[in-house]
Structure 1
């Protein structure tokens, strides 16, 4: 289970929490008034290029040059 820590408690013991994350590899969630705002987690270097990470993410590509009508905008519905 991910540990949750308030901002004020984190501020007082930040280095201690950094060392804990480094040692355990488990993330810590920083909260403000009980709501999650930040996550401290170990850095994980990716060996994939940005293009490789995006590959396969386009689900549908019909006609990119077709004009978009007002009825196609979900925000206006």
Structure 2
């Protein structure tokens, strides 16, 4: 968007708000020649990695009362894997 210097002077605050809202630069002209450009300030600081995924997870079901599933050591289902191994003797 282009605006001449006199119009910019008359509507300066409104034009600044418009540039901030639309994020489109504004070229200020004087006698038809571009003299200045008004651009919105971009956030120069990178976003923090801490908390960037806040409110993106979802809890399904009851996380406190979890049904017990026996471990392989409790059920004996892996006993065949260790049948040939002997425990090391302590010195």
**TM-score, scaled to structure 1:** 0.55
Higher strand share: 1
Q: Which runs of 5+ in 1 are unaligned?
A: 48-77
| Bigger relative contact order (CA 8 A; separation at least 6) | 1
CA distance in 2, matches of 1:16, 1:9: 11
1:45 Cα deviation after fit: 4.1
* Structure 1 runs (4+) greater than 6 angstroms displaced: none
Bigger radius of gyration: 2
Higher helix share: 1
Q: Which runs of 5+ in 2 are unaligned?
A: 46-91
Aligned residues: 46
Counterpart of 1:44 in structure 2 is 42
